[in-house]
Amino acid sequence: MRLPIRLIPLLVLLPAIAGAQLGGRPSTLGLIRDARIAEAMRDLSPAELRRIDSTLVAFGTRHTMSDTLSPTRGIGAARRWIHAELAAAAAACAGCLRVEYDTGRAVVGRSPARPTVALWNVVAWLPGRDTSRVVVMGAHYDSCICSTDGMDAVSDAPGADDDGSGTAAVMALARVMGQRFPTGFDATVAFVLYTGEEQGLLGSTQFAERLAREGKRVVAAFTDDIIGNVVADDGRRDDRSVRVFAVDSLAIGGGELARYVWAVGARYQPRFEVLPVLRLDRLGRGGDHRPFVERGIPGLRFSERLENYKRQHLPTDSLADVDFDYVARVARLNLAAVAALAAAPDRPAQTAYARDRASGGQAFQIRWSPVAGAARYELLVRRTTDPTYTRIVDAGSDTSYLLDEQLDDVWVGVRAVGADGHRSLTTVVGAPGGPRLAPAARPR
Ligand SMILES: [Zn+2]
């Protein structure tokens, strides 16, 4: 069918307008605004976050090798309290959350004595319709004064920002999301409080290995790590933006995840800027998303815009310097990102492309593997130098589409759209090292 010639520019332009960056504003990538998610975000209160973090700090130290027997001091008391808080949240939503310890042992390679430590992550599962597909939302509850002595397990290590702030956010998220969505989403959500982060990401490595062993497909692994400082040592202040760190690997999809969170922020909390940084982490630093990325899973770290290096890993990382209004903004962004992803179908596992002969090679036939629960699919297009997608094409309910783009010159992502409008992450077509569909049979 041929369209009247004067309509064509308009039809081409409409999807571009829907997805483009206008006047420097970030793209919402056509994501819907789900009223239930927006309402749940309001339940995350600075007062609750402060209550949780102040209790964590009151355990004195949460060093991974600190006392485990005292009821009031050390990492044992801290993990038992975290477990009890999550169990209370589970009871309040009629058992919607499954709370457990994820335990194991690991050698602390960073210590000359190479001691073996017991690792106790605390996990609250919000089971979804599909229990084999998991969105991980984590933070580490252990603390240290590593800037003076990484193996000092006795002295006070308050860790109010690192990472009491992230731990408070994840515990509050588990409570609020359980309360608001007691029957869960399409995917399962794991709220995880890791131990052993300061000894080399030991707890998150253990959890990532366990999920792989159990055959779980991890949609994305988020970590909140230092999300409460708003004043830098030079006096600069920023409580209106947050950094998200992710490797822009086309095959794994880290950059796709960063663009998704960027869009979620623009859709649900537009006055709080998401600053995507397309690298694994800050220079020379690490976080609990890393063990997942190393296993081929999209991982992303949320961190405050401005760090204060006079307090990190020191006895001065105190509660007074955590801004809980700011932590609440980050937690609301977390909630929207986790809920939107978990509510969506999976993304296509594999893609393929073929140059279209009829167009003289100027169009491409794009194919992808079908996704359970997908009502339809969309193709997203960006120039290779664009930070995010600028064109969204409705590809209908089939698993192939003739795209009027020169695929040599752009990146194209395919995503699934659920019946209720939630969008999956994108799988990049023709990503080097990415999964490919088998070649199509020649058309007859
Ligand atoms: Zn940390």
User: What was the pLDDT predicted at 11?
Assistant: 42
Give percent of the chain with pLDDT exceeding 90. 90
| C-beta separation of 166 from 327 below 8 A | no
Q: Write the DSSP symbol of residue 425.
A: -
User: 135 C-alpha to center of ligand 1: Å?
Assistant: 20
How far does residue 93's CA lie from ligand 1's centre (Å)? 30
Taking only the tens place, the pLDDT of each residue in 112-147 is 889 999 999 999 999 999 999 999 999 999 999 999
Residue 351 pairs in a beta bridge with 368, 436
Neighbour tally for 99: CB within 10 Å: 21
The string of pLDDT tens digits covering residues 69-110 is 999 999 999 999 999 999 999 999 999 999 999 999 999 988
Using the mean position of ligand 1's atoms as its centre, give its distance from the Cα of residue 285 in Å.
9
Domain spanning 5-25+345-428: CATH 2.60.40.10? yes
Give phi and psi for 104, each to the nearest 5.
-175, -170
Q: How far is the CA of 406 from the centre of ligand 1 (A)?
A: 44
**Cβ contacts of residue 51 below 8 Å, gap of 6+?**
none
Residue 287 Cα to ligand 1 midpoint, Å, equals 7
Contact 52, 85 (CB under 8 A): yes
The sign of the torsion formed by the CA atoms of 374, 375, 376, 380 equals negative
Mean pLDDT of 193-211: 97
Concatenated DSSP letters of 308-325: -TTTTTSTT--GGG--HH
Distance 231 CA to ligand 1 centre (A): 17
Hunting for tokens 């239930």 — which residue is that? Answer: 36
Lowest mean pLDDT among 61-65, 149-153, 154-158: 149-153
Residue 141 CA to ligand 1 center (angstroms) comes to 9
pLDDT tens, position by position, 405-436: 999 999 999 999 999 999 999 999 988 888 78
Question: Closest by alpha carbon to 195, among 105, 114, 300?
Answer: 105
Say which range, 146-150, 170-174, 192-196, 229-233, has the weakest mean pLDDT.
146-150
List where CATH 3.40.630.10 sits in the chain: 35-343
CA 263 to centroid of ligand 1, rounded, Å: 25
Identify the band that residue 441 occupies on the pLDDT scale cut at 50, 70 and 90.
Answer: low
Token duo for residue 195: 């131990």
Task: Give residue 423's pLDDT.
Answer: 98
- The fold adopted by the segment(s) 35-343 is Aminopeptidase (3.40.630)
Residue 146 C-alpha to ligand 1 middle, in angstroms?
11
19 pLDDT higher than 50: no
Q: Is 225 helix (H, G, I), strand (E, B) or coil?
A: coil
Query: Distance, CA 416 to ligand 1 centroid (Å)?
Result: 34
Residue 17 pLDDT: 38
Distance 201 CA to ligand 1 centre (A): 10
Phi-psi category of residue 7: left, alpha or beta, with phi > 0 → left and psi -120 to 50 → alpha: alpha
Between residues 268 and 110, which one has the greater pLDDT? 268
- 211 alpha carbon to ligand 1 midpoint, in Å? 22
Residue 440 has a pLDDT of: 61
In DSSP terms, 191 is beta-bridged to 124, 137
**Can you name the residues that pair with 118 across neighbouring β-strands?**
105
Q: How many angstroms does the Cα of residue 41 sit away from the middle of ligand 1?
A: 24
Q: Give the end-to-end CA distance of the chain in Å, rounded to a whole number.
A: 21
Domain with CATH 2.60.40.10 in the chain: 5-25+345-428
Query: Nearest-CA neighbor of 3 among 391, 443, 404, 364?
Result: 404
Q: Residue 1: what pLDDT?
A: 37
Cα of 28 to ligand 1 centre, how many Å?
30
C-alpha triplet 79, 339, 302: angle, nearest 5°: 60
